Amino acid sequence: MKTSRTSFTAFLLCLALSAAAQTRVIAHRGYWKAEGAAQNSIAALQKADSIGCYGSEFDVWLAADNRLVVNHDPIYKGMRMEKSPSSALTGLKLSNGENLPTLAEYFQAAQPLHTRLILELKAHSRPERETKAVEKIVALVKEYGLENRMEYISFSLHAVKEFIRLAPAGTPVFYLDGDLSPRELKEIGCAGPDYHYSVLRKHPEWIQQSHDLGMKVNAWTVNKAGDMRWLIDHKVDFITTNEPNHLLLKQFINK
């Protein structure tokens, strides 16, 4: 009797461990729904870290003076990211009262934290600007000693290829646009697909194919319980969400 109870406890433990290893949670633009945070703010990064997210995603632009800033929108409060000097962009306020951060400020705030940094380089107007941005990002990451916590993502296939070429070997680089098969991603050296969940629901076989090729699968931006459940059941490795504190995801957090 005692043995069977011990076995049952071991079984539950294995179940818990396998669940923990299965799906991890990435806060989309940080945990910006937390009090005092805003999308792509330093507070949102700190909040994502405070609840134990595996990673915190954020968006990066190369400003006109070749400095890197953190924001999602191509035009924010009337200022075009690519055409404005960083000094003008960092004078803009986010909704929580923070100034729009430079990437250097963001990295400085990230240094004492533990969450992984899921850096999305936005698609720029010219490939040369994306190459310049990747060069600057890789150099800044080195300066702040964050190489082991970086993962890169982009909708731009050119930017993805440049991260693979210029970041230290082994740094995960994921492609976002949903139009390449796992085998095509493997051939260019990607860590795997980071696709909208509707793409994975349309091609559920891509999840297993990615795993068979030694790649990981990320899905964005997953906010509804039904979609979370489907992705967890289909063993995706990462869920990127605006709801990192969702009841269904709590089992995977702080592990």
- The distance of closest approach from Cβ of residue 14 to Mg ion in the complex, given in angstroms and rounded to an integer, is 35
- The distance of closest approach from Cβ of residue 149 to Mg ion in the complex, given in angstroms and rounded to an integer, is 17
Nearest to residue 48, comparing CAs of 106, 94, 102?
106
Question: Of the listed pieces 37-45, 114-122, 127-135, 225-233, which binds Mg ion according to CB under 5 A?
Answer: 114-122
Q: Which is nearer to Mg ion, 107 or 186 (CB)?
A: 107
- The distance of closest approach from Cβ of residue 57 to Mg ion in the complex, given in angstroms and rounded to an integer, is 6
- The distance of closest approach from Cβ of residue 206 to Mg ion in the complex, given in angstroms and rounded to an integer, is 21
- The distance of closest approach from Cβ of residue 61 to Mg ion in the complex, given in angstroms and rounded to an integer, is 11
Question: Of the listed pieces 105-113, 117-125, 144-152, 159-167, which binds Mg ion according to CB under 5 A?
Answer: 117-125
Q: In the complex, which residue's CB is closest to Mg ion?
A: 120
Q: Total binding residues for Mg ion by CB under 5 A?
A: 2
Q: Which is nearer to Mg ion, 59 or 162 (CB)?
A: 59
Neighbours of 194 (CB within 10 A): 32
Number of residues that make up the chain: 255
Q: Which is nearer to Mg ion, 40 or 210 (CB)?
A: 40
Question: 179 to 208, contacts with Mg ion by CB under 5 A?
Answer: none
Tell me how far apart the alpha carbons of residues 90 and 134 are, in angstroms, rounded to a whole number.
Answer: 20
- The phi and psi torsions of 200 (rounded to 5 degrees) equal -70, -30
Listed in sequence order, the DSSP H helices in the chain are 2-22, 42-50, 86-89, 103-110, 127-143, 157-166, 182-188, 197-202, 205-212, 225-233, 247-250
Q: Which is nearer to Mg ion, 26 or 89 (CB)?
A: 26
Q: Which is nearer to Mg ion, 59 or 227 (CB)?
A: 59
DSSP 93: B
Q: Which is nearer to Mg ion, 120 or 162 (CB)?
A: 120
Question: Which of helix, strand or coil describes residue 119?
Answer: strand
Question: 41 to 60, contacts with Mg ion by CB under 5 A?
Answer: 59
Q: Is 120 in the site for Mg ion (CB under 5 A)?
A: yes
CA 187 to mean position of chain CA atoms: 22
Tell me how far apart the alpha carbons of residues 23 and 211 are, in angstroms, rounded to a whole number.
Answer: 13
CB contact at 8 A, 116 and 149:
yes
Which residues of the shown chain bind Mg ion in the complex (CB under 5 A)? 59, 120
